[in-house]
Amino acid sequence: MAKIRPSKGHPYARILGVGGYRPTRVVPNEVILETIDSSDEWIRSRSGIETRHWANDGETVAAMSVEASGKAIADAGITAQQIGAVVVSTVSHFKQTPAVATEIADKLGTDKAAAFDISAGCAGFGYGLTLAKGLVVEGSAEYVLVIGVERLSDLTDLEDRATAFLFGDGAGAVVVGPSSEPAIGPTVWGSEGDKSETIKQTVPWTDYRDGTVEKFPAITQEGQAVFRWAVFEMAKVAKEALDAAGITADELDVFIPHQANERIIDSMVKTLKLPESVTVARDVRTTGNTSAASIPLAMERLLATGEAKSGDTALVIGFGAGLVYAATVVTLP
């Protein structure tokens, strides 16, 4: 009986570079208030959001991804030809097939890299990072490009008072490659499908196609239910990720949660008892909720502003529609 040769992988993997792209159009709360009965004070107090970015016609999911990825590749100090796989997490690419990852891989100039999309909502970056780590350690790719990208403005109902102010557009990317020491911890992830109705698309695409409904599908959510779940359950998941990595809250340098709502972030910081020395990402204030793109965008901004530095130990956690979640501890590039 023939024996399969063992994979020539690497003992560990790490994030080597990060890049981000925010659309040029900045949308303040005043624009949102043109279509909903609310106030700037209410939006800020409930979410922390002051502005968000919305894409123009040329800022497609692929175009934003290419911009963010180019920066991540340069930051990692490699070339596009060295990328062995491209993993794209998005819920707002409206072509069922082919995967937008294949277009991105081609436009970046990779050497026929493996390329595929995943759909894991706001936990998508964590899912992609976990897959990338596995590919590098197993030996299927030397370097993996992980992209979180959304054009949620296309899926926003501007008349829905509960969600109209939440969503923004953008792309964040990281390059994952070999490491001589552990730099991406075990992932604590999962799903709670019994709560899938709390964040969802209003109607299937087929209902719109067949004329059953006239309004284009949008994202909707049960705000209070999502808030309670995120605050109470996700703090537990974050603690599990710290434990799995062998890290205590006092040893943490940076906390980068999904940028959904600043009140959720504040509550998680309090529940986790993070010391004041821990830098907390609050990119939601000027970027809004960009789903799969929110964690890499927040990571990129913290490093660019100097609020975080290379080598810092960071806890990242994403959570959202499904309901799904993923948390891990990483060393920042």
The catalytic residues are 122, 258, 289
Q: Which two tokens stand for residue 265?
A: 């972030």
Give CA–CA dist 90/127, Å, rounded.
11
Place of tokens 């943490």: 252
Give CA–CA dist 135/156, Å, rounded.
35
Bridge partners, 219 (sequence order): 201
Residue 328, classed as helix, strand or coil, is strand
Give CA–CA dist 30/27, Å, rounded.
8
140: DSSP letter? S
Residue 89 CB contacts under 8 Å (≥ 6 apart), including other chains = 117, 118, 119, 120, 124, 125, 127, 128, 146, 147, 148, 149, 292
Q: Of the candidates 256, 267, 276, which has an alpha carbon nearest to the alpha carbon of residue 327?
A: 256
- Ranges assigned E (strand) in the chain: 12-21, 25-28, 51-54, 83-89, 114-118, 143-151, 169-179, 188-191, 199-201, 219-221, 254-257, 279-280, 313-320, 324-331
Q: Are 190 and 324 in contact (CB under 8 A)?
A: yes
Q: How many CB atoms lie within 10 A of CB 306?
A: 7
| Region at 326 (left for phi over 0; alpha for psi -120 to 50; beta for the rest) | beta
Q: Are 170 and 287 in contact (CB under 8 A)?
A: yes
Q: Of the candidates 25, 27, 263, 294, which has an alpha carbon nearest to the alpha carbon of residue 158?
A: 27
